[in-house]
Structure 1
């Protein structure tokens, strides 16, 4: 059978079984489209995870106290509940390759301004936190050394929290309450 004759037979078979041919073609198209979508989603998720890891910085080490369990087995050696200011000072002075040490205490709490409230993550930080995270402030200022030494109640709001509480208006100099404590 020559190629021209084979093409005629194939076209005739497609015409006779038009619905079957259409469904087979539709199945192939849907299958290929599904594979393309899955590869795209996986690639996008991988890029999103990579971006979040890069946001931490390439030279950031996170030290957490205590131990944890995984699958019923204890992992980690320490049983300390938290690291102390002394621990931070020791890391700062005894580890030569450390440029900055940022102590943080993290949690979640409602932040209230007037009748507006927004539950968000709240971080108590020291003076090196913004440097370690390589974060720049869009508005306002960081807390001063005097405020840090005196234990003054100073808050730096993230963009989303400021937008939710102040409806896009100015937030600098305004008082907010975190767990009913004014800042």
Structure 2
């Protein structure tokens, strides 16, 4: 009995410790007039207008982005010709990202992308099987289906780039005519 009275007393003491404090019931209205509110709204609008716009990447494929992907990654794929002919599986496997980026950036239609991905899978299946003949055949089929060729411009016959922002800068396709 004494134990239960002690428990009840301890419970009552701990409950009173967690009881909420009395609240001052002051006015809940905002102490702000219309001019102050309009000033704060205008200041907030100015801050929001000063923030940079968010980048919204919608995945659009313009002809410029397609030609850029075709130029950059297509040239990397075309440069693998000697590695494929010599049966250097490691060199082709090292350029796996060039195939992926070409498939996703240079080809606009989904059916073209699906066919290119299938051909890429055939190339890498030949690499896994260490079959040089199948690699040559799959590589040539991929190049011809996607119209990939090495592009070079002769310095004496023309100009290959127009600015430093052109994708052909610092590549064999980016020659500049000089007298």
Which TM-score band (shorter chain)? Answer: under 0.3
TM-score where L is the length of structure 1? 0.27
More strand by percentage? 1
More helix by percentage? 2
- Asked which structure has the greater RCO (Cα within 8 Å, sep 6+), the reply is 2
The structure with more radius of gyration? 2
TM-score where L is the length of structure 2? 0.28
